[in-house]
Structure 1
Amino acid sequence: MPPLESVDDRLRQAMKLVLLATLPGTLMMFWLYGWGVLINLSLAGIAALTVEAAMLQLRKRPLKPSLSDGSALVSATLLALALPPYCPWWLTLTAAAFAMVFGKHLYGGVGSNPFNPAMLGFALVLVTFPQQMTHWPSSQGMDLLSGLQQVFGFGQAPDAWVRATALDSLRINKSLTMDELFSANPAFGHFGGRGVEWLNLAFLAGGAFLLQRRVFSWHAPVGMLASLFVISLLCWNGSGSDSHGSPLFHLLSGATMLGAFFIVTEPVSGAKSPVARLLFGVGVGLLTYVIRTWGGYPDGVAFAVLLMNLCVPALERFAVARQEQTAS
């Protein structure tokens, strides 16, 4: 077994690479939505590190190794990128604090959490504050001062500043064809959500970088994207008003690529063996489509990941049984 120092060094290096890989998506989000993205990142980072330090003190654990390994900052970054820009400050702080306490330290800290901390914090605020979580800006709209005023409740958002996302518009659509939605609804772009399709490609580029650096294996991302593609293809009925969207639409809308390369690849709450990782990704992809299409929320990545976190022990047992059967 390698010494503890080498384990900490590898963890620290992996977290640095993950943060670096989020840069293309972060820059694209900033270009699309403006200063609200950076405000979210700052608030989530400060809250996560503060709560991390407080929990370490309560647990009588040393501060330096855990605060410097980067895991809290990575969870805060992924959470902030999933939240709507310019959401209220207290919502970001609540999500980050919940992620650190109930997603990480309640189970013993890094390496022991059964649920993805970022998605646990996101799911809490999505269920508790659904109205604030649906206010996505339609454009940049605000300078830094106006953005701070909006986040901290000192300013009034301009009329028509927020709009429903493409996934939400498709979910509630009853009469328009897909062609009509894409041509008339400003939330739709060329293939997916307007701007969001480029955002997904940016996260795809970051994920490809992590694959190239072997930060994680291909099994979970490929499993998620392949299953999402297959089920959306099987359920796609063209451009009719009852269409659930094409495979390309689902791959380039919502948090698909963020989920595939930065969420399902989380090494602690995810599966460990290759077969289990593949099945974990497949389950996330299928559940994401089911929740998007028939559930009560437009994007189901967070709930899909948390549900599959519960299935990890069963997936690992299946993988071991399959390996033993193959060996015999």
Structure 2
Amino acid sequence: MRFKTFSSPHMAPARSVNRVMGQVLLALIPGTAAMTWYFGWGVLINVSLAVTVALACEALMLLLRGRPLTPHITDLSAVLAGWLFALAVPPLTPWWVTLVGVGFAMIMAKHLYGGLGYNPFNPAMVGYVVVLISFPREMTLWLSPSVIAELNLSLPQTFAAIFTGTLPEGLTWDMITAATPLDRIQTGVGLEQPISQIQTSPFFGYLGGVGWEWISLWFLLGGLWLLKRRVIGWQIPVAMLGTLTLLSGLFWLINPEVYASPLFHIFSGAAILGAFFIATDPVSASTTPKGRLIFGAGVGALVFVIRTWGGYAEGLAFSVLLMNMMVPLIDHYTQPRVFGKTSAGKEG
């Protein structure tokens, strides 16, 4: 038999990087479409801008490092990083915030560590945390789905808000922006308001925040498709969501007027997006089967702790980055048993 190459490997791998990344991007489409439906054109503008900046930074760093543009620029890893960053920020985030966040993610969190396969931290989450800490006001420009339905901001109006900071005549930022459901729960509980009273607000639906619950369901659909295609393993999503459900359920049973229900935690914010699309990053997450369970459980536990007692209403990004720091230790102690050797270290 003749092969195309003289030396091994003679056959291309069945799952290349761009094929895996492409399937993850396809799985993101339903949730992204749902976010656009509930939060307006800003979601698509942010995704387009973030992906463009990510590709530009990728190309720049490859040239500076003396690396060829292909296949690195076409492996879709930069596209995925930019897309995930865009989903994490508010729909009317100023363009320069996206530029700073994605630029930091690609240059500092990815390429200064050696590029794809060498970064110890999830680049998209690094960029998000940087802008969250640096620009707290701009990162609170979330819109209520009811406001979107009432105002019906057009594409040109949304474009102007993002790139020039101007709103249609008669509107101010305070009139169109609102706290997220997670923010409302955290703030209300801090003011000693019972959760049953807080959730009488029209911002809350059956499972979580209005709009957020349906967005989470569509991201769940995409995540289950990735599991079926075996693009990701089941350990991290199951461990993360299971731990978050277990902890929130325990405290909810103790005092449901102080602690939100498990359904609220799962279907509000970025819990499902994080479980299937962010925490499962094959580079920065644990690589062993047992390690993935520990990693996912750690992310879920930290999300609950930060949401409940921390200073930020959504703790996913911090939780993922903190567990990224633990990956070398986790993988060291969870290596599968090696067969074929005696206790003396000789081959059996």
Q: 1:7 to 1:49 in 2, by over 3 A?
A: farther
Q: 1:226-241 to 2 correspondence within 5 Å?
A: 226-236=242-252, 237-240=254-257
Quote the Cα distance in structure 1 between the aligned partners of 2:262 and 2:270. Answer: 14
Instruction: Output one character per residue of 1:215-257: Cα deviation in whole Å (capped at 9) or x when no partner.
Output: 01100110100000011011114442xx120011100011001
Quote the Cα distance in structure 1 between the aligned partners of 2:74 and 2:256. Answer: 51
Secondary structure in 1 aligned to 2:321?
A: helix
User: Paired residue for 2:194, among 164, 168, 177?
Assistant: 177
Secondary structure in 2 aligned to 1:190?
A: coil
- Counterpart check, 1:86 vs 2:92: yes
1:324 Cα offset (Å)? 6.6
Q: Which protein is richer in helix relative to its size?
A: 1
AA aligned to 1:207 is G
Aligned to 1:35: 41
Secondary structure in 2 aligned to 1:136?
A: coil
Aligned to 1:292: 307
Bigger Rg, which one: 2
Aligned to 1:191: 207
Secondary structure in 2 aligned to 1:130?
A: coil
Instruction: Output one character per residue of 1:257-316: Cα deviation in whole Å (capped at 9) or x when no partner.
Output: 110000011000001011001100000000011111111100000000000000001111
Quote the Cα distance in structure 2 between the aligned partners of 1:4 and 1:23. Answer: 35
User: Paired residue for 1:71, among 77, 84, 91?
Assistant: 77
Count of aligned residue pairs for this structure pair: 323
- Counterpart check, 1:260 vs 2:275: yes
Aligned to 2:3: none
Secondary structure in 2 aligned to 1:78?
A: helix
Aligned to 1:312: 327
Secondary structure in 2 aligned to 1:60?
A: coil
Quote the Cα distance in structure 2 between the aligned partners of 1:4 and 1:304. Answer: 41
Note the residue ranges of structure 1 that are not aligned, 5 or more in a row. Answer: none
User: Paired residue for 2:219, among 193, 203, 218?
Assistant: 203
Quote the Cα distance in structure 1 between the aligned partners of 2:12 and 2:118. Answer: 18
Q: Is the 8 A contact 1:164 1:187 kept in 2?
A: no
Aligned to 1:219: 235
1:3 Cα offset (Å)? 3.9
Identity %: 47
Q: 1:3 to 1:151 in 2, by over 3 A?
A: farther
Report the TM-score when normalising by structure 1.
0.94
1:138 Cα offset (Å)? 1.1
Report the TM-score when normalising by structure 2.
0.89
Aligned to 2:160: 149
- Bigger shift: 1-10 or 49-58? 1-10
Quote the Cα distance in structure 1 between the aligned partners of 2:291 and 2:225. Answer: 23
Q: 1:98-113 to 2 correspondence within 5 Å?
A: 98-113=104-119
Secondary structure in 2 aligned to 1:175?
A: coil
1:181 Cα offset (Å)? 1.5
Instruction: Output one character per residue of 1:19-77: Cα deviation in whole Å (capped at 9) or x when no partner.
Output: 00001101100100110001100110110000100000000000011000000000111
Quote the Cα distance in structure 1 between the aligned partners of 2:24 and 2:250. Answer: 33
Secondary structure in 1 aligned to 2:325?
A: helix
Quote the Cα distance in structure 1 between the aligned partners of 2:10 and 2:163. Answer: 42
Quote the Cα distance in structure 2 between the aligned partners of 1:51 and 1:5. Answer: 32
- Bigger shift: 203-212 or 166-175? 166-175
Q: 1:122 to 1:8 in 2, by over 3 A?
A: farther
Q: Is the 8 A contact 1:163 1:187 kept in 2?
A: no
AA aligned to 2:232 is F
- Bigger shift: 229-238 or 91-100? 229-238
Aligned to 1:117: 123
Q: Is the 8 A contact 2:286 2:331 kept in 1?
A: yes
Secondary structure in 1 aligned to 2:199?
A: helix
Quote the Cα distance in structure 1 between the aligned partners of 2:13 and 2:84. Answer: 23
Q: 1:263 to 1:154 in 2, by over 3 A?
A: closer
1:2 Cα offset (Å)? 6.9
1:98 Cα offset (Å)? 0.6
Quote the Cα distance in structure 2 between the aligned partners of 1:8 and 1:15. Answer: 13
Secondary structure in 2 aligned to 1:297?
A: coil
Aligned to 1:19: 25
Q: 1:272 to 1:146 in 2, by over 3 A?
A: same
User: Paired residue for 1:273, among 288, 291, 295?
Assistant: 288
RMSD: 2.0
